[in-house]
RNA sequence: GGGUAGGUUGAGCAGGUGGUGAGCUCCGCUGACUGUAGAUCAGCCGUCUUCGACUGUGGGGGUUCGAUUCCCUCCCUGCCCA
C-alpha cells in the first residue's frame, strides 16, 4: 500500500467535515503507515495478532487500522525484542496503521493482579507472576519500541459505580499521568492520544474533558465506558464529552466499543474511531453478526441450514461455506471455525462502518440505524439497569 | 463346558459389603461476552404437575421393617483354560 505521511510536522494529521447528522463527522486520519477513513473501527490484535486472522484476512475484510497492546507485548515477547526485529509492523506482517493501548485497561481487567500508586502500576504477570512495573513513562517507552503509529497514555479506569471519591481520584491520577506521558515522548513519528475518564458523572466528565483537551495531544480518547454502565449512561456521557469538546479539531476515539448499535450512538455524538474485542471474541464463541441479526451457529437448528452465514455478505466464509458447515466446524472444535467466523464478523463490522460513512455523506444515517436496530435491538434492549452509587 | 472379572442415568466412569446412588467428565441443549489472563465462562442435561415429587444400580424371584448391597436363577460382555 502507499504510505501517506502526515502533511505537517505532526506525526498524524486529521481532517474532517461536519455532517448534517447531529455531531457526526466524516474524516480522514493520516498516519506514517497510511490513511484511515473515519468513522472507523480497529480490530483488536492484543498479542501482535488479531486472533485467528492473518494480515491478509484483515485486508480482505477491509481493515485499515488495528490495535496492539503494551501490557501483553511487553511481557511477551517483550518490546525490546520486537524493536530488535524491526518493530511491530514488520514483526506481525501488518504494514498499515497500528494503535497501541497503554495497558490502562489491564489496570482495570487485571484488578486482582495489580497495585496502583501515584507513580504507576505494579502487576503480577498473568503469565508467571513476576512483578512488572508500568509507569506513564515506561508505557510510552514500550510503545516507542513497538513503533506504533498511535500511542495511548497510561490511564486508570474504574468501575463507574464506585463511590464518587474513587472515580474522582482515578480521574485526577489519569490527568497527572497524561501530563507525564507528554513529557516522556521522544519519537516525532508517533502520535499520542490522551484519555478522558470520569465515570458516568457529568461534572467529572466535563472536568476530565477540559483537562485532557487542554493538553497538546494528537487525538482525544474517551475511556472508561462499556464497563458495566447502561446504554443510556454511555449515550449521556458521550453527549457531555461532545459538548465539552465543542469544535476541537482533533480525532475522537471511543475506546472499547462496540456492538452494531453502539456505533450509531457514538458516531452521532462525534466519535471518529473505535476498537473492540467483541466482533472477534464472539465469533470464536459461535456468534455471527449478520444482516439478519445475531446468530449462534452452535444452535442445533443450523446443522441442516445450507445457506450462507449472511446472504448479504461477500466475505470468504459467506462466499464459500454454509451455516451447516460452520455449525459442524464449531461442534467438531475445528480451528477453521474460528477463522471463518472471525473473517465474517470483522468483515461485517467494517462493512457496517463503511455503510455508516456512506449514509453520513448522503444524509440517510437514521434510516440505516433503524434497519440495523430492527435486527439488533432485541438483544440490546435487554439492558442493564443504570449504575447505582455504592 | 470350566474358571474369572464385570453389567450404574446417550458414552466413559466414581461410589456403594442392609438404612434415601441423580456425583464427575465427555456428548447434547441454551445463554453470556464491549481499550482480550477468554478456541472462554455460566446454566441445564432420567421423568413429572420442577422452591418439590417420583423413578432408576442387567431381567426375574427370595430373605428382610427396609436390598444397589445378602441368597437363588436367568441373560449379556471381557479375559483365561478346555
pLDDT band of A134, cuts 50, 70, 90 = very high
- The answer to whether the C-beta of A260 is closer than 7 A to strand B is no
- The catalytic residue among A101, A149, A201, A310 is A101
Q: Residue A387: pLDDT band by 50, 70, 90 thresholds?
A: low
- In this predicted structure, what is the pLDDT of residue A372? 97
Q: Is the pLDDT of residue A383 over 50?
A: no
Q: Say yes or no: Cβ of A257 under 7 A from any atom of strand B.
A: yes
Cell numbers describing residue A336:
477453521
Cα of A239 vs its chain's centroid, Å: 19
| pLDDT at res. A7 | 53
Burial class (CB in 10 A: 0-12, 13-18, 19+), A362: exposed
Quick one: what percent of chain A has pLDDT higher than 90?
Answer: 94
**Nucleic strand B near CB of residue A160 (< 7 Å):** no
- Is A383 catalytic? The answer is no
pTM as predicted: 0.93
pLDDT band of A340, cuts 50, 70, 90: very high
Specify the pLDDT at position A336. Answer: 98
For CA atoms A108, A111, A200, A234, the dihedral sign is positive
pLDDT at A380 over 60: no
pLDDT tens, A21-51? 999 999 999 999 999 999 999 999 999 999 9
Q: Which nucleotide shows the minimum CA-to-C1' distance to residue A44?
A: B36
Q: How high is the pLDDT of residue A6?
A: 63
Q: What is the pLDDT of residue A3?
A: 46
Residues A297-318 have a mean pLDDT of 97
End-to-end CA distance of chain A: 51
pLDDT of amino acid A10: 83
Nucleic strand B contacts from chain A, 67-106, CB < 7 Å: 67, 69, 72, 101-102, 104-106
Residue A363 CA and nucleotide B43 C1' are separated, in Å, by 45
* Prediction ipTM score: 0.93
Q: Which of A155, A201, A239, A275 is catalytic?
A: A275
Average of per-residue pLDDT across A71-84: 98
Amino acid at each position: 500500500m502507499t504510505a501517506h505521511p502526515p502533511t505537517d510536522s505532526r506525526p498524524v494529521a486529521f481532517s474532517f467535515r461536519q455532517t448534517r447528522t447531529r455531531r457526526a463527522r466524516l474524516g480522514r486520519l493520516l498516519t506514517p503507515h497510511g490513511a484511515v477513513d473515519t468513522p472507523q473501527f480497529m480490530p483488536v490484535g492484543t498479542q501482535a495478532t488479531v486472533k485467528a486472522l492473518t494480515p491478509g484476512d484483515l485486508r480482505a475484510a477491509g481493515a485499515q487500522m488495528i490495535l496492539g497492546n503494551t501490557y501483553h507485548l511487553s511481557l511477551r515477547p517483550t518490546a525490546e525484542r520486537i524493536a530488535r526485529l524491526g518493530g511491530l509492523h514488520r514483526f506481525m506482517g501488518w504494514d498499515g496503521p497500528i494503535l497501541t493501548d497503554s495497558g490502562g485497561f489491564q489496570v482495570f481487567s487485571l484488578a486482582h493482579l495489580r497495585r496502583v500508586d501515584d507513580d504507576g502500576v505494579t502487576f503480577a504477570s498473568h503469565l508467571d507472576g513476576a512483578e512488572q512495573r508500568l509507569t506513564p513513562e515506561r508505557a510510552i517507552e514500550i510503545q516507542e519500541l513497538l513503533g506504533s503509529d498511535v500511542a495511548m497514555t497510561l490511564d486508570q479506569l474504574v468501575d463507574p459505580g464506585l463511590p464518587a471519591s474513587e472515580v474522582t481520584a482515578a480521574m485526577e491520577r489519569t490527568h497527572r499521568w497524561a501530563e507525564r506521558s507528554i513529557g516522556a515522548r521522544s519519537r516525532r513519528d508517533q502520535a499520542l492520544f490522551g484519555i478522558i475518564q470520569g465515570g458516568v458523572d457529568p461534572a467529572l466528565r466535563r472536568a476530565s474533558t477540559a483537562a485532557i483537551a487542554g493538553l497538546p495531544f494528537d487525538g482525544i480518547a474517551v475511556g472508561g465506558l462499556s464497563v458495566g454502565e447502561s446504554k443510556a449512561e454511555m449515550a449521556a456521557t458521550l453527549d457531555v464529552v461532545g459538548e465539552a469538546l465543542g469544535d476541537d479539531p482533533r480525532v475522537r476515539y471511543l475506546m472499547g466499543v462496540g456492538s452494531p448499535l453502539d456505533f450509531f450512538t457514538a458516531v452521532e455524538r462525534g466519535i471518529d474511531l473505535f476498537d473492540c474485542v467483541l466482533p472477534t471474541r464472539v465469533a470464536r464463541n459461535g456468534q455471527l453478526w449478520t444482516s439478519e441479526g445475531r446468530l449462534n451457529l452452535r444452535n442445533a437448528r443450523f446443522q441442516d441450514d445450507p445457506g450462507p452465514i449472511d446472504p448479504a455478505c461477500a466475505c470468504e466464509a459467506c462466499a464459500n461455506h454454509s451455516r451447516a458447515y460452520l455449525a459442524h466446524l464449531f461442534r467438531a472444535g475445528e480451528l477453521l471455525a474460528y477463522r471463518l467466523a472471525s473473517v465474517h464478523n470483522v468483515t461485517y463490522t467494517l462493512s457496517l462502518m463503511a455503510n455508516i460513512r456512506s449514509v453520513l455523506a448522503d444524509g440517510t444515517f437514521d434510516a440505516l440505524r433503524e434497519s440495523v436496530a430492527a435486527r439488533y435491538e432485541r438483544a440490546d434492549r435487554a439492558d442493564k439497569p443504570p449504575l447505582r452509587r455504592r
